[in-house]
Amino acid sequence: MTGNLSFNHYSKHKTVRDVNDTRMEYFAQRLMQAEERVFSHADVYCRAKMGATEKRIKVVNHVHAVLGSAARKWVLGIVTQKEDSNYYLEDSTFTVKISFAELEYVE
């Protein structure tokens, strides 16, 4: 019973930093799980490497690899909506603001 009370006592007095740290740990864990799932299919996907040019394998880049590039690239990240109500694509290396304003509805 006392273990339960100490947990409730701690959870009632979390600071904003504690909540943000927990949130960031959650996103890092989810991104790691997504990467493990995608890259477990080694015959289809691989991480970006120097000289990786096999046609049948899709190269998945970090988010920062799209900056300044006009070429289409596969990226893996988490779409988040922050307090400023804008959407961002994030991974463990970078964050990029994205917009869905030009999307068209398709049936």
Q: Give CA separation, 44 vs 58, 59, 69, in Å.
A: 6, 9, 23
**Cβ atoms within 10 Å of 5's Cβ, excluding its own:** 9
pLDDT tens by residue, 14-28: 676 776 777 778 888
Tokens in use for 2?
């006392």
State what percent of residues in the chain have pLDDT above 90: 6
Number of separate domains in the chain: 1
Position 81 in a domain: yes
Of 5 and 93, the structure prediction assigns the larger pLDDT to 93
Query: pLDDT class for 1, splitting at 50, 70, 90?
Result: very low
Task: Tell me the residue range of the domain where 52 lies.
Answer: 2-98
Position 106 in a domain: no
pLDDT tens by residue, 27-65: 888 889 988 998 888 888 888 876 656 677 888 888 888
